[in-house]
């Protein structure tokens, strides 16, 4: 699935979202857009992220800056959870 791409216009028509939304995500560095055969596409591996961002933007009315902040906080939380798990495993070693 690493080399698979989804055409932005096709995805937007299917999902009822504006292509400009995808372009804004790219401009803010939240996703990557590639030109494939002179057509704007995004990697299929980013589909879940785009759907999450679309939910935040369209359903919850969160702007792109807010989406970026949420993404950052979720990443920090995930990193902390991994760190806690690692520390718990180290603690078990000493028990």
Burial class from Cβ neighbours inside 10 Å (0-12, 13-18, 19+) for residue 23 reads: middle
For 21-52, what is each residue's pLDDT tens digit? Answer: 999 999 999 999 999 999 999 999 999 999 99
At 40, give phi and psi (nearest 5°).
-70, 130
Residue tagged 């999902």 (tokens): 15
Q: What is the pLDDT of residue 2?
A: 54
- CA 21 to mean position of chain CA atoms: 13
Q: How many domains does the chain have?
A: 1
Q: What is the pTM of this model?
A: 0.83
Q: Is the distance from CB of 22 to CB of 31 less than 8 angstroms?
A: yes
Indicate which CATH number applies to the domain containing 34: 1.10.1660
pLDDT of residue 95: 79
Six token digits for residue 34? 């590639």
Task: Find the DSSP H helices in 1-95.
Answer: 8-15, 19-27, 47-54, 64-94
The residue length of the chain stands at 95
Can you give the residue range of the structural domain that contains 67? 5-94
Task: Calculate mean pLDDT across residues 50-56.
Answer: 97
pLDDT grade, residue 64 (50/70/90)?
A: very high
């Amino acid at each position: 699935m690493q080399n698979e791409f989804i055409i932005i216009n096709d995805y937007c028509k299917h999902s009822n979202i504006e292509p400009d939304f995808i372009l804004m995500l790219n401009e803010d560095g939240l996703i990557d857009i590639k030109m494939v055969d002179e057509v704007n596409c995004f990697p299929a591996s980013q589909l879940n992220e785009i759907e999450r961002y679309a939910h935040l933007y369209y359903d919850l009315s969160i702007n792109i800056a807010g989406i970026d902040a949420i993404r950052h906080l979720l990443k920090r939380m995930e990193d902390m959870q991994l760190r806690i798990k690692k520390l718990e495993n180290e603690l078990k070693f000493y028990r």
